[in-house]
Structure 1
Amino acid sequence: MSWSAASFDWNQARAFLATAEHGSLSAAARELGQTQPTLGRQVAALEEDLGVALFDRAGRGLILTDAGRELLMHVRDMAEAAARIPLTASGQSQALRGTVSITASDIFSTLLLPPIIADLARSAPEIDIELIAANELRDLSRREADIALRHVRPTEPHLTARLLGEGLGYFYAAPAYLARRGTPETPADLKDHDLVGFLDADQMVAQLTHFGIEVPAENIRYRSDSGLAMWEMVRQGLGIGLMSADMGLRSPDVDLLFPRHPAFRYPIWLVTHRELHSARRMRLVFDHLAEALTAHIARTHARFPAA
């Protein structure tokens, strides 16, 4: 397979990459903000230029051919290199102005970060903050965010991370639910109760089993991919739900169950791209978040000494 520099078209390569990663032209078109016919023409033009088929058409989906898989590795490397250009440039900026984007779960974005950002605004008023509330991981290498608050340790070599501490999670229920169904005395009693959880019930069952709590999947009767929506269903008395201690402390209308036994613990990592970490405004925001969140974690643990 040959591809001369003179004939290189990054739009075609980007169209191919998006299609390969999403498995369909329609999904790739939505990702790139293009129409499906336009994207299809770019992929077809790339196949014609290379003289090979990059996809096998299978119903509405697309499957990479051997040539497509080989090309995909190179195009991904190109995309990573292209993403590093603005990263490197941003990393050299020493100005305390500009935009910094932060991504975190919807719970943390709503509960923890706004007051921390407000405090930052008083000391660095020329830095604009873009807060991305998303429960899925954003790709920092592609500038989907500058700084991320995560509950899993990053493995990518170009990212730098700081472990801020450990969060606590407990079971909670609304008084209306407990009045209707009774109050469980131990975690083992949850097998006889309705639960509110995330969309993947089997995954939640596996996580609870890991912590020694046996709950049938059919007991997880109410589910959402949003932590805020899930919590609201708990507050409405639909069932017992897992939630971070931070949210529980701010919700006097729900009851904490089994206060001496955290249902789960989770690490809290602050992550950024290595090149961005050297930029003055990025470093300022990163360090401000780290200091404020570390103090918050310590205060939360002080409220639950048995944990």
Structure 2
Amino acid sequence: MRICMNWSAIRFDWNCARAFLVTAETGSFSAAARELDVAQPTIGRQVAALEEELDIILFERLGRGLALTAAGKMLLTHIRAMGDAAFRTSITAAGQVQSVGGKVSVSVTDMMAAVVMPELVTRLRMIAPQIEIEVISSNDISDLQRREADIAVRHVRPEQPELIARKLRDSEACLYASIDYLERVGRPETPEDVLNLDFVAMGTAEQLAPFLERMGIPAGVPKVSLQSDSGLVCWELAKRGQGVVPMISDLADQSPEMENILPELKPIIVPYWLVTHSELHSAKRIRIVFDFLAEALSQPRFGI
């Protein structure tokens, strides 16, 4: 089926097109509303307005879900390209701003957000008080190409050529437990003993096992007693005597009540990369924050 549209007669509204794009990518009006931070009825009205303007049906309503029509699939290809161009334009424009004042968002893990960033942001604000710092606490990799953050601290080197990445250093991750927990259950004397302890983990026992093997712990299924998708929550649970938790030593050293349970185990090497978009790096405020973080985070214990 061939679908023809009279594009020359269309009064284009980017808000309606964006509502359609995000709805198509998220699968529902409600999810699109959350993504764009607007009311759900607004999304529905904008999509309906686009359908009326183009005189086509973009979605089929299937119960509570939505499915793209043939016309919707064709339009999505064009709108997605326009969206990518809009993001690139936004990044380029932001990169040309040379004023020091303005907002800079930095994405870090929730553990780093709680333990490291308060001190660093305080020092940075003394150096450049005009800059507004937003700390994004996320254990997911922020999409810098779509401006989910201006700067990110990552444990993997990005592959996108548009991103600038500076390796800061390597840190080490070891196994920690509270002194109270170890005194209650006994300190392990051999790698084999570790598998008898309770673990607090961000993943399942099956996901944790390969990391333990890399540390020299014999193959086996660790006893994961508590789980959370938050590293900070796992750490706080372990501090309260709930078990053993893997943690980066630079962060663990901030808590004297925690102990490396078997120092002779081989640590996991954790690289630190500071990343931003090449276009954004030319903006003065981005450069100031990037260079400050690069210097501070390169230091042992992150310079705090």
Q: Which runs of 5+ in 1 are unaligned?
A: 301-307
Q: CA deviation at 1:37?
A: 2.9
Matched residue, 1:189: 193
Question: Contact 1:169–1:262 (CA<8 Å) still a contact in 2?
Answer: no
Which residue of the other structure, out of 100, 103, 108, is the alignment partner of 1:99?
Answer: 103
Matched residue, 1:160: 164
Indicate yes or no: 2:221 matched with 1:216: yes
CA distance in 1 between partners of 2:54 and 2:216 (Å): 56
Matched residue, 2:293: 289
Which deviates further from its counterpart, 194-203 or 127-136? 194-203
Indicate yes or no: 2:16 matched with 1:4: no
Question: Contact 2:214–2:266 (CA<8 Å) still a contact in 1?
Answer: no
1:166-216, Cα deviation, whole Å (9 max, x unpaired): 121110111232233222223333322210011555433454456564352
1:254-295, Cα deviation, whole Å (9 max, x unpaired): 111222334422221111111110112211211111111112
Provide closer, same or farther for how the CA distance between residues 168 and 70 of structure 1 changes in structure 2, counting only shifts above 3 A.
farther
Letter in 2 for 1:4: W
Report how many residues are paired: 299
Provide closer, same or farther for how the CA distance between residues 180 and 59 of structure 1 changes in structure 2, counting only shifts above 3 A.
farther
Which deviates further from its counterpart, 262-271 or 33-42? 33-42
Letter in 2 for 1:79: G
Which deviates further from its counterpart, 206-215 or 38-47? 206-215
Q: How does 1:72-87 map to 2 (within 5 A)?
A: 72-87=76-91
Q: Secondary structure at the match of 1:192?
A: coil
CA distance in 2 between partners of 1:54 and 1:164 (Å): 47
Letter in 2 for 1:194: D
Q: Secondary structure at the match of 2:298?
A: helix
Q: Which runs of 5+ in 2 are unaligned?
A: none
Letter in 2 for 1:46: L
CA distance in 1 between partners of 2:300 and 2:7 (Å): 55
Provide closer, same or farther for how the CA distance between residues 297 and 31 of structure 1 changes in structure 2, counting only shifts above 3 A.
same
Matched residue, 2:38: 34
CA distance in 2 between partners of 1:65 and 1:191 (Å): 53
Matched residue, 1:304: none
1:211-245, Cα deviation, whole Å (9 max, x unpaired): 5643526x212111222211110011111111110
Q: Give me the TM-score of the superposition, normalised by structure 1.
A: 0.86
